[in-house]
């Protein structure tokens, strides 16, 4: 074995293989938010519909969890031993942190999307065909070439939480959305 293989020199000699994936080269894109109606309006007012909700949320994303699933275990016991089989997969909730831009109304867009699943004003639960949206989590190289893309099916907001306000703090205001989704897959399409 070559002594240089123990250290990092072979990484430097093969930059086309060992370019690291950076955690800040990504986009989280939601689909089908066109015509989203502002909560508390009838939808007929001049400012009732968000014109660019998808673009605002895409630009507002500060961080996103990566989709993963856990798989149930089916145990079969016989005598003094146990063997295990693969069970049903479950995709856990993800979280996306958004920067709250006042003029773009990031908060209003997230509230309107969540209101599609449950509207606090009317106390009605919406139908899945209205509130479930697909999303894409796309990872890029430093020079903005796509590395991989996850497609998340059936996304909806189950919880919104915000930073607290404080006179002692001087940070940006963020909103964390807990996103439920039915499944995620690596999307190899262009």
- Residue 63 contacts residue 97 (beta carbons within 8 Å): yes
Residue 11, domain member (yes or no)? no
pLDDT at 19: 86
User: Is 141 a residue whose pLDDT tops 70?
Assistant: yes
Q: What is the mean pLDDT of residues 18-43?
A: 90
- In the prediction, which pLDDT does 46 show? 83
The count of structural domains within the chain is 1
Of 33-42, 86-95, 96-105, 135-144, the range with the lowest mean pLDDT is: 33-42
Q: What is the mean pLDDT of the chain?
A: 92
Angle between helices 53-60 and 106-117 in degrees, nearest 10: 110
106 located within any domain:
yes
Assess if residue 17 is contained within a domain: no
Domain that holds residue 38: 22-186
What integer pLDDT is reported at residue 190 of this predicted model?
62
In a domain, 12, yes or no: no
- Pair of tokens at residue 30: 């939601």
Give the model's pLDDT for residue 109: 96
Is 5 among the domain residues? no
Residue 2: inside a domain, yes or no?
no
Say what the alpha-carbon torsion angle 60, 65, 66, 71 is, to the nearest 10 degrees. -140
CATH number at residue 35: 2.30.110
Tens-digit pLDDT profile for residues 59-96: 999 999 999 999 999 999 999 999 999 999 999 999 99
Q: Poorest-confidence range of 91-95, 168-172, 185-189?
A: 185-189
Token couple for 128? 């899945």
Three-class SS state of 41: coil
Residue 67 located in a structural domain: yes
pLDDT value of position 112: 96
Q: What is the pLDDT of residue 139?
A: 95
> Which is more confidently placed, 18 or 184?
184
pLDDT reported for residue 2: 57
Once rounded to an integer, what is the mean pLDDT over residues 163-169? 89
Strand partners, 98: 61, 175
| pTM confidence score | 0.87
Contacts of 141-144 with C-beta under 8 Å, sequence gap 24+, read 141/19, 141/21, 141/25, 142/19, 142/22, 142/25, 144/25
- 9 within some domain: no
Bridge partners of residue 94, in order along the sequence:
179
Residue scoring higher pLDDT (26 or 19) = 26
């Amino acid at each position: 074995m070559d002594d240089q293989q123990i250290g990092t020199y072979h990484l430097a000699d093969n930059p086309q293989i060992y370019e690291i994936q950076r955690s800040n080269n990504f986009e989280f894109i939601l689909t089908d938010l066109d015509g989203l109606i502002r909560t508390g309006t009838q939808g007929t007012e001049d400012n009732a519909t968000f014109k660019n909700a998808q673009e605002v949320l895409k630009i507002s994303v500060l961080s996103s969890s990566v989709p993963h699933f856990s798989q149930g275990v089916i145990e079969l016991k016989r005598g003094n031993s146990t063997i295990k089989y693969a069970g049903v997969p479950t995709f856990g909730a993800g979280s996306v942190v958004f920067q709250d831009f006042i003029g773009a109304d990031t908060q209003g867009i997230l509230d309107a999307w969540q209101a599609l699943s449950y509207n606090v004003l009317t106390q009605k639960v919406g139908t899945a065909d209205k509130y479930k949206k697909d999303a894409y989590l796309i990872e890029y190289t430093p020079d903005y070439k796509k590395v991989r893309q996850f497609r998340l099916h059936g996304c909806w907001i189950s919880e919104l939480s915000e930073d607290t306000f404080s006179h002692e703090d001087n940070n940006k205001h963020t909103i964390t959305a807990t996103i439920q989704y039915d499944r995620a897959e690596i999307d190899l399409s262009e």
